[in-house]
Amino acid sequence: MVGSIDTLHPSLYSDGSSYNCNGLEEKLDELRRLLGKGADDPLRIVSVGAGAWGSVFAALLQDSYGQFREKVQIRIWRRPGKAVDRATAEHLFEVINSREDVLRRLIRRCAYLKYVEARLGDRTLFADEILKDGFCLNMIDTPLCPLKVVTNLQEAVWDADIVVNGLPSTETREVFEEISNYWKERITVPIIISLSKGIEAALEPVPHIITPTQMINRATGVPIENVLYLGGPNIASEIYNKEYANARICGAEKWRKPLAKFLRHPHFIVWDNSDLVTHEVMGGLKNVYAIGAGMVAALTNESATSKSVYFAHCTSEMIFITHLLAEEPEKLAGPLLADTYVTLLKGRNAWYGQMLAKGELSRDMGDNIRGKGMIQGVSAVGAFYELLSQSSLSVLHPDGNKPVAPVELCPILKTLYKILITREKSSQAILQALRDETLTDPRDRIEIAQSHAFYRPSLLGQP
């Protein structure tokens, strides 16, 4: 495969198709010039966190640019010591033997025997170990190219030019606070691209959202113009399998435009946008409602009618919330709905909702699920509910024309909070909420948002 350590044909994709090597090298050289890299100084890129999207992102870069070894160094960091259980090892062995290219590669690298032994229970594999061979623990069915894995965080980041944040939002602050200790004597300022979709809530001095890019900025002191967000309506495994996809990189113009060009490929189109925080927040918002969609699908045996009823109500709530968070919410409508749609179709949050409703998972198992990784929507439910329940943000309720907290006009969000956070209700409550005859017409909720000056810049920490 392209970019693998032992590749002989760097101009070919894993499926045999070719691409323009010279064009890639030109893009790499252009970015190196912008970063002031000398001839003998490789561009150092490290992905921090090895979940599905973080691993795929690193693999895409390795596939494209890994052949230019003297000009770029691409690595990925993950914590050591995570054991692969016997069932996963057995499944991994089946995946290896179903892919002739992967099987041949492992044999050539003298790495196949350890997977045989793990299948038999004669040895334990570790997540960082298999990642070196191109297997992400959260995405076993999609083999990647071999990756350069570093388990020491200081070694991974201390001299990195570009750091990709592939961590869940719930881990971002802690890890980047540690990273800041290794950057105290840096002369140059790194660029950080965050892939994380999730938010936290803060109530002081006023209720506001904290996003991963803000966490990174505050933890490290890296200027916000050097911190960007990349997201879009996509599924990591499908992107690596070269399904056509697109995304946006958001942030300061100085870096977003050259990075969009650097990351763009024929099957993965990257646009750029200046609106960093609202795109980032919208990426977290869709995860909230995806969990409920999964519950409805499971509880109604995939009823198209029930799912469409839910979709009408959840999208109206999302539009309502968007009007609170964005000065020009109409510009976000397309990206938000697209991201929501793909998450409902195949995202881990919708899957999680299904498994909860079917009784195959329980809330006591936590938010980090084996084979899937962190379910970001759970913490986002808590954060959005906490923010929108503040009386200081009150809006007029259409019935009685009295001021209420915004969450009172978001019955789906309220119900998800009671299912997932306080756990006072079962998954069945999501259907009860939909079938409540007193429920506001979704159209009315949208009209309320559009007919009032709803925008609350303070929610995004803006004056």
Q: What is the full DSSP assignment across 145-167?
A: ----EE--HHHHHTT-SEEEE-S
Place of tokens 């803060």: 202
The mean pLDDT value for 156-166 works out to 97
Q: How many CA atoms lie within 13 A of 176 on its CB side?
A: 28
Residues 345-392 pLDDT 10s = 889 999 999 999 999 999 999 888 888 888 999 999 999 999 999 988
User: Cα(261)–Cα(250) distance, rounded to whole angstroms?
Assistant: 13
Spatial separation of the C-alpha atoms in residues 281 and 9, rounded to whole Å: 41
Lowest mean pLDDT across 83-87, 159-163, 272-276, 336-340: 336-340
Percent of the chain beyond pLDDT 70? 95
- State yes or no: pLDDT of 19 exceeds 60: no
| Predicted confidence band of residue 18 (pLDDT cuts 50, 70, 90) | very low
Q: How far apart are CA 82 and CA 308, in angstroms?
A: 40
Q: What percent of the chain has pLDDT over 90?
A: 72
H helices of 75-111, in order, are: 86-98, 100-108
pLDDT at residue 94 greater than cutoff 60:
yes
- Condensed to tens digits (0 to 9), the pLDDT of residues 34-76 reads 999 999 999 999 999 999 999 999 999 999 999 999 999 999 9
pLDDT of residue 12: 43
Catalytic (active-site) positions: 286
Write out the residue limits of the CATH 3.40.50.720 domain(s) in the chain.
Answer: 21-81+148-197+209-274
pLDDT of residue 9: 36
- The pLDDT score that the predictor gives to residue 344 is 87
* 3-state secondary structure (DSSP) of residue 84: coil
- State yes or no: pLDDT of 246 exceeds 60: yes
pLDDT of residue 22: 59
Q: Residues 6 or more apart from 389 whose CB is under 8 A from it?
A: 405, 406, 407
pTM score, whole prediction: 0.90
CA distance 141 to 137: 9
Q: Is the pLDDT of residue 421 over 80?
A: yes
pLDDT at 440 over 80: no
**What stretches of 20-161 show up as alpha helix (H) in DSSP?**
21-34, 52-65, 86-98, 100-108, 112-119, 127-132, 153-157
pLDDT at 325: 87
Average pLDDT over residues 180-200: 94
Long-range contacts of range 98-101, CB-CB < 8 Å, 24 or more positions apart?
A: 99/143, 101/1, 101/14
What's the pLDDT at 372? 87
- 409 Cβ contact list (under 8 Å, min separation 6): 317, 320, 395, 397, 440, 445, 448
> Would the pLDDT of 148 be above 80?
yes
Q: 401 versus 147: which is more confidently predicted? A: 147
- Token representation of residue 108: 């050539």
| Conformational region of residue 219, where left means phi above 0, alpha means psi within -120 to 50, and beta covers everything else | alpha
Q: pLDDT at position 400, please?
A: 66
DSSP 331-383: GGHHHHHHHHHHHHHH-HHHHHHHHHHHTSS-GGG-SEETTTEE-HHHHHHHH
> Is 172 in contact with 216 (CB distance < 8 Å)?
yes
Q: What is the pLDDT of residue 110?
A: 95
Distance CA 327, CA 455 (A): 6
Q: Reply yes or no on domain 277-460 having CATH 3.40.630.30.
A: no
Mean pLDDT of 83-100: 96
Instruction: Quote the CA–CA distance of 203 and 197 in Å, as a whole number.
Output: 20
Q: Say if residue 17's pLDDT is above 80.
A: no
Query: What's the mean pLDDT when you consider all of the chain?
Result: 90
> In the structure, what pLDDT confidence band is assigned to residue 5 with cuts at 50, 70 and 90?
very low
Q: Please report the pLDDT score of residue 439 as a whole number.
A: 77
Closest CA to 368 of 145, 136, 126, 168: 168
CA pseudo-torsion sign 360, 366, 367, 370: negative
Query: Do 256 and 355 touch, CB atoms closer than 8 A?
Result: no
Q: What is the mean pLDDT of residues 151-160?
A: 97
Residue 233 · residue 244 · CB < 8 Å: no
Q: Name 228's bridge partners.
A: 193
- Which residues, in sequence order, are bridge partners of residue 149? 76
- In a 3-state reduction of DSSP, which class is residue 313? helix
Query: pLDDT-based confidence at 403, cuts 50/70/90?
Result: confident
CATH superfamily to which 21-81+148-197+209-274 belongs: NAD(P)-binding Rossmann-like Domain (3.40.50.720)
Q: What is the reported pLDDT for 290?
A: 95
- Tens digits of per-residue pLDDT, 257-314? 999 999 999 999 999 999 888 889 888 899 999 999 999 999 999 999 999 999 999 9
Q: Each residue of 107-116: pLDDT tens digit? A: 999 999 999 9
**What is the structure's pLDDT at 15?**
41
Residue 180 has pLDDT above 50, yes or no: yes
Q: Is 334 exposed, middle or buried (0-12, 13-18, 19+ CB in 10 A)?
A: exposed
Neighbour-count burial for 435-452, b at 16+ CB within 10 Å, e otherwise: eeeeebebeebbebbeee
CA torsion 332-336-338-344 (nearest 10°) is -170
Residue with tokens 């559009």: 450
Judge whether residue 401 has pLDDT over 90: no
With a cut of 50, say whether residue 3 has pLDDT above it.
no
Helix (H, G, I), strand (E, B) or coil at 270: strand
pLDDT of residue 10: 41
Query: How much is the pLDDT for 331?
Result: 78
Q: In the prediction, which pLDDT does 8 show?
A: 32
